C-alpha cells in the first residue's frame, strides 16, 4: 500500500518552525499572557458586588431593567455555587481570545469581500480551521507555547475566528450595489464608502459573526482547561476525572450563565447600533428627496457646512 507521511511532514515543519522562529513564539506567548493577566486583574481585583453592578449597568444601558435583573441574578448564581473566581478567569480568556479573533476576522472578511481571488483562497482555510477537531490544535500549540493559558487562547482563536470572517464577507457582499453607486456618484472615496456605507449596512451581519465568535470561544473553555488554562474548564476536566457530578454541574451551569449574558449583551448592543446608525447613504437619500421637493440642503441636514465633508456635498 502507498502511504503518504503527511503527519511526519507536519511534525518536521513544526520542529523547523520552532528552531527558526522560537523567539517569535516566546514574544507572542508573553503578549497573550500579559493580556490575559490584565483582564484577570480587572475582573478579580474589585469586590464582587462592583463587578455585578457594572455588568448589570451595561445590561440596563443595552436593553433595560429586565436584562439588568437577569444579569445580576445570573452572576449571583455563579457566586452562590462558589465558581466566581473560575468564572472570571474563563471570562478573561474569552475576552482576550474573542478580541484577537475579531481583530483578525473582520479585516480578513473585508479583504475577502473586496477580492474574489482572496475569497477563493480564504474560504477553504476557514473551512479547515472550523472543521478540524479542536484537540488537534492543542498539539502544536502546546509545543509552540508550552503548558498554560496561552495554548488555550491560541486554539480558541483558531477555532472561533472563522464565523467572524464569513459573516463580515457576507454582510459586505450583501450591501445593495445601487447604494454603493449612489455614494460614488456623490464623490465618496472607496475608503469612505467602506466606512460609512458598507460597514454600517453590514453591521447586523458583522455583529452576528461577533456573537458567534464569543459563543465558540466559550465552547472551548473545557478544551483550554485540559492544557492548564484554569477557570471553569479546569473544573469540568477535574469533575470528569473524578466522576464528580456536583462539581461538573456547577461549573457547567456557570459556563451557561456566562454564555447567556454575553449573548444577550452583544445582541442588545447590536440592535442599539443598528437603530442609531446614520450613514452617508441616509444623507444622500435625504438630499435627493429634498431636491425633488425643492427643499434646501440646510433644511435637510442642519449641520454647519464646515462639518460636512466636501466629498459628500451635493
Residue 301 lies in a domain: no
Residue 13 lies in a domain: yes
Residue 303 lies in a domain: no
Domains identified in the chain, total number = 1
Q: Tell the residue number behind the cell numbers 421637493, with chain if given.
A: 293
Residue 308 lies in a domain: no
pLDDT (tens digit per residue) in 171-223 = 888 887 777 777 777 777 888 888 878 888 888 888 888 888 988 888 887 77
Q: Tell how far CA 202 is from the center of its chain.
A: 15
Rounded to the nearest 10 degrees, the angle between the axes of helix 231-242 and helix 84-114 is 120
CATH of the domain at 247: 1.10.3720.10
Instruction: Supply the DSSP string of 231-269, one letter for each residue.
Output: HHHHHHHHHHHHT-HHHHHHHHHHHHHHHHHHHHHHHHH
294: alpha, beta or left, given left = phi > 0 and alpha = psi -120 to 50?
A: left
Mean pLDDT, rounded, for 301-313: 43
Residue 53 lies in a domain: no
**Global pTM?**
0.80
Instruction: Give residue 297's pLDDT.
Output: 47
pLDDT (tens digit per residue) in 33-47 = 899 999 999 998 889
Residue 127 lies in a domain: yes
Residue 150 lies in a domain: yes
308: alpha, beta or left, given left = phi > 0 and alpha = psi -120 to 50?
A: beta
**Where residue 294 falls among pLDDT bands split at 50, 70, 90?**
low
Range of the domain at 150: 6-45+81-294
CB contact at 8 A, 15 and 144: no
Amino acid at each position: 500500500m502507498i502511504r503518504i507521511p503527511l503527519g511526519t511532514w507536519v511534525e518536521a515543519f513544526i520542529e523547523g518552525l520552532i528552531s527558526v522562529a522560537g523567539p517569535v513564539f516566546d514574544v507572542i506567548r508573553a503578549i497573550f499572557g500579559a493580556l490575559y493577566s490584565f483582564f484577570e486583574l480587572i475582573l478579580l481585583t474589585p469586590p464582587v458586588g462592583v463587578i455585578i453592578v457594572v455588568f448589570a449597568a451595561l445590561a440596563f444601558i443595552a436593553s433595560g431593567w429586565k436584562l439588568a435583573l437577569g444579569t445580576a441574578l445570573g452572576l449571583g448564581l455563579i457566586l452562590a455555587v462558589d465558581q466566581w473566581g473560575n468564572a472570571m478567569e474563563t471570562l478573561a480568556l474569552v475576552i482576550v481570545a474573542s478580541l484577537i479573533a475579531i481583530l483578525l476576522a473582520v479585516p480578513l472578511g473585508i479583504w475577502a469581500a473586496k477580492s474574489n481571488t482572496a475569497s477563493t483562497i480564504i474560504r477553504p482555510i476557514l473551512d479547515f480551521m472550523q472543521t478540524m477537531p479542536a484537540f488537534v490544535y492543542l498539539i502544536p500549540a502546546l509545543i509552540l507555547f508550552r503548558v498554560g493559558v496561552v495554548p488555550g487562547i491560541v486554539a480558541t482563536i483558531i477555532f472561533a475566528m472563522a464565523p467572524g470572517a464569513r459573516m463580515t464577507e457576507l454582510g459586505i457582499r450583501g450591501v445593495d450595489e445601487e447604494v454603493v453607486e449612489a455614494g460614488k456618484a456623490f464623490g465618496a472615496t472607496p475608503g469612505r464608502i467602506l466606512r460609512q456605507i458598507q460597514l454600517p449596512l453590514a453591521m447586523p451581519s458583522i455583529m452576528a459573526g461577533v456573537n458567534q465568535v464569543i459563543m465558540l470561544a466559550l465552547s472551548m473553555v473545557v478544551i483550554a482547561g485540559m492544557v492548564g488554562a484554569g477557570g471553569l474548564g479546569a473544573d469540568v476536566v477535574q469533575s470528569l476525572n473524578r466522576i464528580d457530578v456536583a462539581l461538573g454541574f456547577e461549573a457547567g451551569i456557570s459556563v451557561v450563565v456566562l454564555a447567556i449574558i454575553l449573548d444577550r449583551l452583544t445582541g442588545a448592543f447590536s440592535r442599539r447600533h443598528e437603530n442609531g446608525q446614520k450613514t452617508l447613504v441616509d444623507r444622500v437619500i435625504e438630499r435627493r428627496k429634498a431636491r425633488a421637493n425643492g427643499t434646501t440642503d440646510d433644511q435637510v441636514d442642519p449641520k454647519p457646512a464646515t462639518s460636512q465633508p466636501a466629498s459628500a456635498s451635493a
